């Protein structure tokens, strides 16, 4: 007669992030709409990358399919990341926060080393080799989001203790943002700070602590924005782009021309003129201009609507998340993608300084696409566990 050891079969105690839900629950009400919106953005983005990049690809690499085929490969990996992460219980991310943060900081440090980091356009932002390279700053957005959400969950009862909650967050933010701004990449630094601020607000850190930090951050960002000639030119162009069409105002002027020439229904997919080397970065930072030119007001309205719906789903998921950790993760991902889209589109239409960040899920860019889809996977997993 055998004796069963209850200690050996007893389930491991769960963390403070709430037990995993029953697998019989099925998907929550926000999961399928989220998948639909993300799919629509990715499909539209893939088509626009093909349309906006053919001329540059042909003149530079001898093949009109060069950027499109690369984007297809990254889309494949991004979809895999979304699928896997959307089925990975989001509570388990708390166990991976430290190694992810350490690895991210190490990569951000490596990218600054001459001979290790890949330099392009005056900035050293990439690791990898030849055509297969990625930006650690994209990983940094996700890593810091996970770190702050985990800390604010584990120490929820100590949220007013600055030494236990606020200071660790500020130290992590300073390290990550400091390394990113040294690349230099001010745009990603600002985005990272916005996500961190949103998480601190959602996590219950008091306004009397956050308002001075926001003021200090604004001053630092303003100083950095005018500390370099090319950044200063971007700011000045915001106020009067037509004054120097041949230099600092050229890009935004061409962007506005492309947007204005599309009319209601556009010139037709593939029939735009701006991609004929008139508009720099037509397939990356300024792909929204090509959407406006080739698909017209209808196309730009569709893109804006998809992002608004995505933000709405993210907010609803956060408000109805099963626990605090899920709420913070959904909040962080939603603010990340929404703010990045707003910054990109704002620069393209001339109401914000031109930025170097991509339009999420639409612009050409491997690391941006893959890690944004991974973040969407986290949001999807929270949505799957949301019941109303």
Does residue 41 sit within a domain? yes
Is 50 exceeded by the pLDDT of residue 7?
A: no
- Look at residue 387 in the predicted model and tell me its pLDDT: 74
Which residues are CB-neighbours of 160 under 8 A, at least 6 positions away? Answer: 206
Q: Label residue 131 by pLDDT band (50, 70, 90).
A: low
Say how far apart CA 75 and CA 46 lie, in whole Å.
8
Is 90 exceeded by the pLDDT of residue 240?
A: no
Does residue 7 sit within a domain? no
Task: Answer whether 337's CB lies under 8 Å from 375's CB.
Answer: yes
Does residue 13 sit within a domain? no
Is 50 exceeded by the pLDDT of residue 222?
A: yes
Q: Label residue 51 by pLDDT band (50, 70, 90).
A: very high
DSSP state of 2: -
Per-residue tokens: 305: 């609507």
Task: Answer whether 275's CB lies under 8 Å from 251's CB.
Answer: no
Per-residue pLDDT tens digits for 319-347: 999 999 999 999 999 999 999 999 999 99
Percent of the chain with pLDDT over 90: 73
Does residue 112 sit within a domain? yes
Rounded mean pLDDT, 11-15: 38
pTM: predicted TM-score of the whole model, two decimal places: 0.90
Say how far apart CA 381 and CA 87 lie, in whole Å.
6
Is 50 exceeded by the pLDDT of residue 166?
A: yes
Cα separation values, 343 from 160, 190, 339, 349, Å:
32, 10, 6, 10
Considering only CA atoms, give the Rg of the chain. 22
> Range of 201's domain?
26-384
- Look at residue 15 in the predicted model and tell me its pLDDT: 44
Say how far apart CA 343 and CA 190 lie, in whole Å.
10
Percent of the chain with pLDDT over 70: 90
Is 80 exceeded by the pLDDT of residue 24?
A: no
Structurally, the chain folds into a number of domains equal to 1
- Look at residue 130 in the predicted model and tell me its pLDDT: 67
Does residue 134 sit within a domain? yes
DSSP string, 81-138: HHHHHHTS-GGGGGGTHHHHHHHHHHHHHHTTSBTTBEEETTEEEEEEETTEEE-HHH
- Look at residue 17 in the predicted model and tell me its pLDDT: 61
DSSP string, 41-97: HHHHHHHHHHHHHHHHHHHHHS-TTHHHHHHHHHHHHHHHHHHHHHTS-GGGGGGTH
Does residue 284 sit within a domain? yes
Q: Label residue 28 by pLDDT band (50, 70, 90).
A: confident
- Look at residue 27 in the predicted model and tell me its pLDDT: 80
Does residue 8 sit within a domain? no
Rounded mean pLDDT, 304-317: 98
Does residue 94 sit within a domain? yes
Instruction: Calculate the average pLDDT of the chain.
Output: 89
């Amino acid at each position: 007669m055998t004796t069963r050891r209850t200690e050996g079969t007893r389930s491991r105690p769960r963390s403070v992030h709430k037990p995993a839900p029953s697998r019989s629950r099925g998907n929550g009400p926000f999961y399928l709409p989220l998948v639909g919106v993300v799919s629509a953005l990715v499909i539209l983005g893939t088509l626009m990358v093909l349309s906006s990049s053919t001329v540059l690809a042909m003149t530079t690499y001898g093949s009109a399919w060069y950027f499109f085929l690369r984007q297809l490969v990254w889309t494949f990996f991004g979809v895999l990341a979304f699928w896997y992460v959307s089925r990975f219980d989001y509570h388990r991310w708390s166990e991976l926060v430290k190694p992810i943060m350490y690895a991210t900081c190490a990569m951000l440090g490596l990218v600054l080393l001459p001979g290790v980091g890949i330099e392009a356009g005056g900035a050293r932002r990439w690791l990898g080799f030849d055509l297969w390279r990625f930006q650690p700053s994209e990983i940094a957005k996700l890593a810091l989001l996970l770190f702050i959400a985990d800390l604010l969950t584990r120490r929820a009862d100590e949220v007013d203790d600055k030494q236990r909650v606020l200071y660790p967050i500020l130290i992590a933010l300073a390290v990550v943002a400091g390394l990113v701004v040294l690349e230099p990449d001010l745009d990603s630094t600002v985005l990272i700070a916005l996500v961190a601020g949103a998480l601190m607000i959602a996590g219950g850190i008091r306004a009397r602590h956050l308002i001075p930090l926001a003021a200090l951050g604004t001053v630092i960002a303003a100083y950095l924005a005018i500390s370099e000639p090319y950044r200063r030119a971007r700011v000045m162009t915001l106020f009067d782009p037509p004054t120097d069409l041949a230099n600092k105002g050229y890009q935004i002027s061409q962007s506005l021309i492309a947007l204005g020439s599309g009319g209601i229904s556009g010139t037709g997919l593939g029939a735009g003129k701006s991609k004929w080397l008139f508009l720099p970065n037509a397939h990356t930072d300024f792909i929204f201009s090509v959407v406006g030119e080739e698909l017209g007001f209808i196309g730009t309205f569709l893109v804006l609507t998809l992002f608004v719906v995505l933000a709405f789903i993210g907010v609803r998921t956060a408000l109805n998340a099963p626990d605090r950790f899920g709420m913070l993760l959904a909040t962080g991902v939603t603010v990340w993608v929404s703010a990045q889209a707003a910054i990109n589109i704002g620069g393209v239409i001339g109401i914000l300084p031109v930025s170097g960040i991509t339009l999420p899920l639409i612009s050409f860019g491997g690391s941006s696409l893959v890690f944004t889809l991974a973040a969407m996977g986290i949001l999807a997993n929270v949505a799957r566990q949301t019941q109303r």
